[in-house]
A and B are shown apart, each in its own frame.
Chain A
Amino acid sequence: MSQFELTDKVAIVTGGGGTSHGIGRCIAMTFAQAGAKIVVVGRHEESLNKVVEEINSAGGEAVAIVADITDPAQVDGMVTKAMAAFGQINILVNSAGGSTFGNPEDLSPAEWNDCISLNLNGTCLCCAAVAKEMIRQGGGKIVNIGSSSGIKGEEHAAHFAAAKAAVINLTRSLAISWAIHSINVNCVSPGSVEVPDHGIPDMPDDEYSKRQKLQSADAGSLGLPGTPQDVANAALYFASPGSDIMTGENLVVRGSEWASAYA
């Protein structure tokens, strides 16, 4: 299975502190198991340290860097610190993101801006800052985490859906721009993801029960929400040599949930 290994690679995983869906945390742990050295990035030092500790105690190698990815200076600092820690950056996973929920007509300008800033601007800042280093090094792999909301729209999270649609399109543009530098840029777009025993964090009850109704009773496990591991597996595929010729693509990981979007 060497085509899916990350031996001797260095991966930055933003949103790796497991603050919301636990996707970033799961990606960090999975990549460590696949052989990569991990730089876990997030705002909350305590939760970052927990992930680092888990990776290190399982025989992996990880460091935590506290950074707010919406702040260009902190993003530059992240790259400098990662280089100081491991001397190279081969993989970037932009997993930091999140959303509030509400009716679009009730969204405040601040809520809209915060959401675009975190999900789109933060991703773009990290891509640009890390790509400069990757260009110098002769290549790399960038995996953005989009969302199926960015394709199908989202009734109670228009700002999030718009930002994620932009991330999917940004992926394509960066892939074109950086192909000559041997940087693959791809996107993984999860549908509903549930953290075992935690449901979908921050989601209002009515939204949650509506989603559950959409999950067809006879659809088996493909009809259920995905897990952070499902997303991490796809991210690993795009970070590994197994996808060396793929760039600009968006892989949607949502079981048969898509069916409800077209019904």
Chain B
Amino acid sequence: MNRAVFAVVATIVVAGLAVLPLLGAPYWTTFVFSILIAYVLAQSWDWVAGEMGYINLGHYVFYGIGAYAFAIALSSALMPSVPLAMVIAVLVVAIVAAVLALPLFRLRGDYFAFGTLALLPLAEVLTNNNTWLTGGADGIVLPVAHVLQAAFWLALILAVASFAVTLVINRAPFGFALRSIRNDEEVAEVIGLPLLPTKIKALVLSSLFAGMAGAIQAWQMSYIDAVTVFGLNVALVPIAMALLGGSGLRWGPFIGVVLLAGIQQWLLVNITMLQATVYGAIILLIGRYMPGGILRAGILRGLPWLAPLTREHGAFVADTAIDQVVSSSAVMSAEMPLDRIAPRGTETPLLVCRDVAKAFGGNRALAGVSFNVAQGEIVGLVGQNGSGKTTLFNCISKVHSLSGGEIRFSGRDLSGLRRDQMAGLGVGRTYQIPRPFGDLTVAENVALSLMFGPQREIPARALTEARSFLAYAELDHRRDVRADALSLQEKKLLEFARALATRPKLLLVDEIASGLTPVEVRRFVDRIRAVRDDYGITVIWVEHIASALNAAADRIIVLEQGQLIADGPPAVVFRDQRVLASYLGAAEVVE
């Protein structure tokens, strides 16, 4: 949209707010101050929730820690200096967030929500009991400073910074990383995203803003105690605000904060009892009737003049970045921007599996499988359902860790490596049941591999290059569609394109051609051969279509109940009596 208009309006609003403390209206100044603080909390919370999909109900703990660290530093005898106390508050919050991230991110979904919520009562108990540090239940009283003006300006700066960070995150690879985590963590890791560091960064960033808000609030109030910064009633309000507006929407937290703060102020004046009940009812009703937020409600979506407010972050990125893409590279060929992998000596195989074993409880899915794959080979992997083919893929891509044996890739032992490191080494894979990042576009799905890959491409460039991979998979015409709107076959092609975009040396293809018509299967066989012939990529292909493997593969490996029963050229293996009996269910060779 007209960005200039937005910039002008935003400047006027911010400038208008900046002069508010000078107008001699302390009531309004205090009210807007509280809104600014609430906005910082709601928006910073939404980086973890709306973007990354982790509902951190203990966000307020970091606000409280910031407030306490500031107050303790300021009231200490050492050197009472406000800027120094702010810095100390920020450092303390960052350290606490990073340390807490380790246990907390072991949890997923509502377990994570629960674990983080449990931090609030813990913080309250610790604060009340460590009287020597925090003053216990009496709280900390700072010298009254009358700093409403200065605190207001700081809060305004912080609020503007929160919005700016939101915009930056949306365009940066970091934002894409968060959204991929929200969609499917395992796949994000398999295509090369280091999971835990990304999550820790997100939590620390979000906590820093909450901590600064707490420090500013403590400075302005010159008094804090445990209940005002760790109480359940206050702690959930900013979260309710973000959700009321619409979590994950660019304007969601802002709209929610303004609405709910207005309602709260009205209640404060007009209702003396049961305030917690009214908050509770508001939270409950938001959850029951619009868990997606007001801005996602159907009525508002229909209003054209509200469109800029209701759009998703994803849409925002797509419509700017893709525009540049179209202008910069109008001509699209079916060539992928991959370097041809140089052939290497045959004496060191690319992949070595030795006695690979994997057990799930008492079920031995793989029981001592040994084979080598040379660079530049196309190996067909066949076997009945349940014979261990997908388990083997999962072991090679480190989705599972081994129960025994050893896998070496490029001469390197894989034990102890993480999934994202496998992607970095050059192992790409597709999933038998496609797992696209559902609420991202097709182009973004492929671009993620390029952003997380060894070249760490910037989003605009990654989105441009993604089109080449999509064109190669014959999916370019669907590039702007949300991935969850694709048909099953299209999703499989997307898996293929996304795996190629990780720039693999070894590509693991899992039943991608099943369900295709014979003509399509033949085209796909050509594709697989071209991946090897043109780019030097080694391929292991799991498929049930014997004719396809016969045409594509140099070698066939057969698994039966977790054991390798044949390994050789297609012409030999497909005539082997044992293979035929096991796999094709026939006792004789059928010509």
Q: Is chain B a partner of chain A in the same complex?
A: no
What is the interface of chain A, defined by CB distance below 8 A to chain B? Answer: none
User: Which residues from chain B sit less than 8 Å from chain A, CB to CB?
Assistant: none
